[in-house]
Structure 1
Amino acid sequence: MSYTQQPMATPGMIVQGNRNVRNLPSDAEGREWSNGLCGCCDAPGTCIVAWCCPCITYGKVKRRYEHLNSKGYPDPENGGCCNSDCVVHGFVTFCGFGWVMQMMNRGNIRSRYNIKGGGCGDCCASFWCTPCELTQESIEVELEEQSYGGKH
């Protein structure tokens, strides 16, 4: 028996977005980030918020990532504004350890998108380059959200 056409999605099926929208080459170790760590100019609004109030950017990125991961489609609220992750991050940052939460989230995002790297790089990026790494993560999640066919 031969088939001439791929099966179509039926109601109730979760249609996954593209986790490598820019079709970056991937090998056994994974692929590179879709946007460089210093590529904040690709999302200037996100970068400014990440510089001024990293807890807001962290909370939004984490909520959007978790929504994609658990529900299989983009968060209709685009991460909200000031959610519980934002509040916790703000408190932990006040104590000097917000970068630890960012490091863990960065590892989760790298895993979802099969991005090269490891804990040491996540730690350094989170500690030394907070606004840039938050912007980089936001862009990665946004690219997948856009692959669902709408502006998010």
Structure 2
Amino acid sequence: MQQPKVQIQPKVPGEWNTSLWGCFSNCGNCIATLCCPCITYGQIANIVDQGKTSVFSGGRNYAILMYFTCGCCLYSCFARSKLRYMFNLPPSPCGCADCLVHTCCEPCALCQEYRELQSRGFDMAVGWDLNTSQAGSTSVHAPVSQMMQGQMTNNQQNYNYQNAGYNNQNMNHQNAPPNQTMGQNDAYNNQNEYQINDPQEQVQY
């Protein structure tokens, strides 16, 4: 059975799969982020918020902050914090705070977060809902033939256990000591003789 590719919330501390300076490992995303970072942020926010923030609303909020307040880096750093919590990642690089990374290297930080989600098995083009639904469909449902085969196997095992108990009971009865069997027969014969010789049972003419 094929296992889902999406991996969420590991129990042990993880590491970033790419560095902050590895933007050119995905040139398409690098160019898109330089030209329109609001789209990249919207895709990241949709995943780290687990579908609560849509790609459109996340990108719209980022674009408003970028063009009117220049505070987009302070807004996007929260997505990096959620991403690190989701995969138990350390502050990077060199233990720098998330807000500092986004303030100094906003495009590089967005590219790194985008690549990290991709390396974890997320398809950034379809969003959170389709990613999780595809993962659930491959991990939950089993083929019908396997379910029927498992049920038949359980029924056969129960039948074998019942037969084994019945056979053991018969063997114990057959293997009883001869003295015990003769004693049971003598008691039965004595009871019959007592009933025949009972005066109350004799017929009076």
Instruction: Report the TM range for the smaller structure's normalisation.
Output: 0.5 to 0.7
Aligned match of 1:101 in 58, 75, 79?
75
Aligned to 1:23: none
Aligned to 2:88: 114
Mapped partners of 2:50, 2:31: distance in 1: 24
SS of the residue 1:125 aligns to:
helix
Aligned match of 1:56 in 39, 49, 54?
39
Checking the alignment, whether the CA contact within 8 Å between 1:65 and 1:141 is kept in structure 2 is no
Aligned to 1:17: 6
Amino acid at match of 1:17: V
Cα deviation for residue 31 of structure 1 reads: 3.0
Aligned to 2:121: 145
Mapped partners of 1:115, 1:125: distance in 2: 14
- Kindly tell me the number of residue pairs found equivalent between the two proteins: 121
% identical equivalent positions: 27
Cα deviation for residue 146 of structure 1 reads: 5.1
Residue by residue, what CA displacement relative to the aligned partner does 1:49-101 show, whole Å, maximum 9, x if unpaired? 11111111101111133347x7xxxxxxxx75xx0110110011121100012
Aligned to 1:40: 23
| 2:112 counterpart of 1:123 | no
- Using the size of structure 2 for normalisation, the TM-score is 0.50
Larger displacement relative to structure 2 (45-54 or 102-111): 45-54
In structure 2, the gaps of 5 or more residues are 124-130, 136-205
In structure 1, the gaps of 5 or more residues are 1-7, 10-14, 21-25, 71-78
- Using the size of structure 1 for normalisation, the TM-score is 0.66
Q: Which has the larger radius of gyration?
A: 2
Aligned to 1:134: 110
Q: Does 1 or 2 have the higher relative contact order (CA < 8 Å, sep 6+)?
A: 1
